[in-house]
Amino acid sequence: MFFGQDHFFEELFCICIQLVNKTWKEMRATQEDFDKVLQVVREQITRTLSLRPTSLELFKTRVYTLNYSEILKLRQTERLHQEETLAVPVLELRERLKPELLELIRQQRLRHLSEGTLFRKISTRRRQDKLWYCRLSPNHKVLHYGDVEEGVPSPAIESLPEKIPVADMKMLLVGKECPHTKEKSSGKQNKDVLELAFSIMYDMEEYCLNFIAPTRYEFCLWTDGLNVLLGKEMTSERMQTDLDVLLSMELKLRLLDLENITIPDTPPPVPKPPSNLNFCYDFS
């Protein structure tokens, strides 16, 4: 690969920067997801290089074939393989920890709903000029919502005139099932809206509260939280990611070798700052 090109690094960079754009679109990423996209791109490049392609064209073909969905499948397969090779006691510990950690995630979702989120109204003219706010009451029994003005980040719950008792909520609808997305025509903008749309069906079937989440992150947290209120399982991809992170961290803590190590009940005192900082490396 290296000796087959006069300007190898420049050619490689052109392929890889196009790969970043391609992966960005596949992940439907936002600015906050930049590091995640680069992690996936790094994995795409290293996995392709491990196959030892004999030319830059072959590298380009293989790295473009290894899209985001393929990376997810490979990660899942590797994770399952690792779990299968884990000792039985460790697997049993994972299963014992899961209910406690799932409850932690549920509480976090409900806390997020209690803090509330600012949503935009999408009219038939596709103008996003009106804002409304929705939040869950502290006792998790009522959803409060109402129109707000631009620049009001977190209105008080008393200022939101409309309300829906949680006991009246019947069903959560997402994507194409929502009444406010059924009549939309196909197109990139409407496809993006479909990914973020969800509705609460309440009281009787003809009553629905329709949402367009500002981000995929908010979509996952709200749909998870509403499923918790409805007594159903959380189903978003964010829930699985959070559970994996918490399980991994908790397992590592539980499996630490703490034999003959005294764990103090109180934290150690913070030492005084040094008299000078001359030991610090001078980068200038």
Domain for residue 243, yes or no? no
Q: For residues 199 and 172, is the Cβ–Cβ distance under 8 A?
A: yes
Q: In terms of domains, do 77 and 171 share one? A: no
| pLDDT score, position 84 | 57
Q: In terms of domains, do 72 and 119 share one? A: no
| pLDDT score, position 9 | 92
Alpha helices by DSSP H, listed for the chain, are 8-26, 34-50, 56-65, 68-85, 88-115, 188-196, 216-229, 237-254
Q: In terms of domains, do 121 and 202 share one? A: yes
Domain for residue 122, yes or no? yes
Tens-digit pLDDT string for the chain (284 aa) = 888 888 999 999 999 999 999 999 998 888 888 999 999 999 999 999 998 988 899 999 999 999 998 898 888 888 766 665 567 777 788 889 999 999 999 999 999 999 988 888 765 554 455 788 899 999 989 999 888 877 767 788 888 888 888 888 888 888 888 877 766 555 555 677 788 888 888 876 667 888 888 888 999 999 999 999 999 999 888 999 999 899 988 888 887 777 777 878 898 899 998 888 777 776 77
| pLDDT score, position 235 | 87
Contacts of 14 (CB under 8 A, 6+ apart): none
- Global model pTM greater than 0.75: no
| pLDDT score, position 206 | 66
Give CA angle at 126 (190, 171), nearest 5°. 60
Q: In terms of domains, do 115 and 226 share one? A: yes
| pLDDT score, position 261 | 78
| Number of helical H runs and strand E runs in the chain | 8, 7
Q: In terms of domains, do 22 and 145 share one? A: no
Q: In terms of domains, do 112 and 77 share one? A: no
Q: In terms of domains, do 67 and 117 share one? A: no
Total number of domains in the chain: 2
Helix (H) or strand (E) holding 166: none
Please identify, among 48, 83, 118, the residue that sits at the C-terminal boundary of a domain: 83
Give CA angle at 280 (275, 281), nearest 5°. 160
Residue 71: give the domain boundaries. Answer: 8-83
Structure tokens at 136: 């869950």
SS3 94: helix
